């Protein structure tokens, strides 16, 4: 009788230990999440053409360019990360830039200048290996697999433009 009660407890303990050993999910790719507006894990011709306009939604300081801080993923509570953020100091170094970021960031400085943003559609088409005017997850793995569900990068919600809600 005691064995029957102990077995579920042991199974729960094993499952908890196994779960705690799993690596954390990768941070969401802000570029992929922003460009893939319909979250279907591919960039359509329309999404590619509107890349500059989509990315400018991340421009917090409204200078027409995106700094490295503006391209950082959000906290779980929706706040943008900042250089001096206490939690950011305790985090491992950021992952390598995604294929989408590498394509758009011509000088490789981790930020997107006005010129790089203007050239984003042409830069993205350079990674379109099959020349179908679309980019799927085989051409840009950071878009995620269609069976993952939710927005690419594994985040729970698509990024929202920073700042207070409009219309209030």
Domain ranges of the chain: 26-154
Residues above pLDDT 90, as percent of the chain:
43
Distance CA 82, CA 72 (A): 8
Return the bridge partners of 74, or none: 80
State the average pLDDT over residues 55-64: 93
Distance CA 142, CA 27 (A): 10
Contact 111, 49 (CB under 8 A): no
Residue 47: helix, strand or coil by DSSP?
A: helix
pLDDT at 114 over 60: yes
pLDDT for the residue numbered 10: 81
| Burial tier of 140 (Cβ tally within 10 Å: 0-12, 13-18, 19+) | buried
Q: How confident is the model at residue 69 (pLDDT cuts 50, 70, 90)?
A: confident
Return the structure tokens found at 29. Answer: 């790719």
Return the bridge partners of 80, or none: 74
Indicate the pTM of the whole model: 0.64
Return the higher-pLDDT residue of 32 and 7: 32
Cα-Cα-Cα-Cα torsion 59, 54, 130, 98, nearest 10 degrees, comes to: 30
């Amino acid at each position: 009788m005691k064995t029957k009660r102990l077995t579920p407890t042991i199974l729960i303990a094993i499952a908890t230990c196994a779960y705690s050993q799993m690596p954390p999910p990768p941070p969401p790719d802000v570029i992929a999440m922003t460009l893939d507006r319909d979250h279907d894990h591919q960039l359509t011709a329309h999404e590619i053409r509107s890349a500059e306009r989509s990315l400018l939604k991340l421009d917090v300081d409204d200078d027409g360019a995106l700094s490295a801080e503006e391209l950082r993923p959000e906290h779980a509570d929706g706040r943008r990360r900042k250089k001096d953020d206490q939690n950011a100091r305790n985090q491992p170094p950021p992952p390598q830039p995604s294929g989408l970021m590498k394509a758009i960031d011509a000088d490789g400085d981790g930020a997107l200048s006005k010129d790089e943003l203007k050239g984003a559609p042409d830069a993205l088409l350079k990674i379109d290996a099959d020349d179908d005017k679309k980019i799927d997850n085989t051409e840009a793995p950071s878009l995620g697999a269609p069976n993952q569900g939710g927005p690419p990068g594994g985040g729970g919600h698509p990024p929202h433009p920073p700042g207070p809600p409009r219309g209030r």
